[in-house]
Amino acid sequence: MKSYTELNVWREARALVKVIYLASSTFPPEEKYGLISQLRRSAISVPSNIAEGIGRNHVKDSIQFLYIAKGSLNELETQIYLCLDLDLCTQEQTNSIFENIITVRKLLIGFIKYMETKK
């Protein structure tokens, strides 16, 4: 198997982290320990769990970490909706972020399906 750094899903998830950091950098300071922290932690969790999953010795363990990454992606998506609800992001910003999330989700689901064939 490739190194996790060569996987498109990991690269796209890593790019999503940057998008989230840039978007959240414009939030009000009182959100530093609120939504900013939650958004960044959720975003970071996605590529981190992909990397950890690939580093596991058993396919079953790898798949479990990929599902954790998928859960973090869902959590991030929910938090973006909350940012929109609270007027912390514009509709245009959220649409752009959702496009990134959809890309990562599709790649992640495809990678999970691929890994399941390795069981």
Query: Which pLDDT does position 57 carry in this prediction?
Result: 87
User: Given phi > 0 = left and psi -120 to 50 = alpha, else beta, which region is 87?
Assistant: left
* pLDDT given at position 9: 98
Q: For position 10, what pLDDT does the model report?
A: 98
Alpha-carbon distance of 54 to 77, in angstroms, equals 24
* pLDDT tens, N- to C-terminus, the chain (119 residues): 679 999 999 999 999 999 999 999 999 999 999 999 999 999 999 999 999 999 998 999 999 999 999 999 999 999 999 999 999 999 999 999 999 999 999 999 999 999 999 98
Instruction: State the pLDDT at residue 1.
Output: 65
| Biggest CA pair distance of the chain | 47
Query: What structural domains and CATH numbers belong to the chain?
Result: 4-116 (1.20.1440.60)
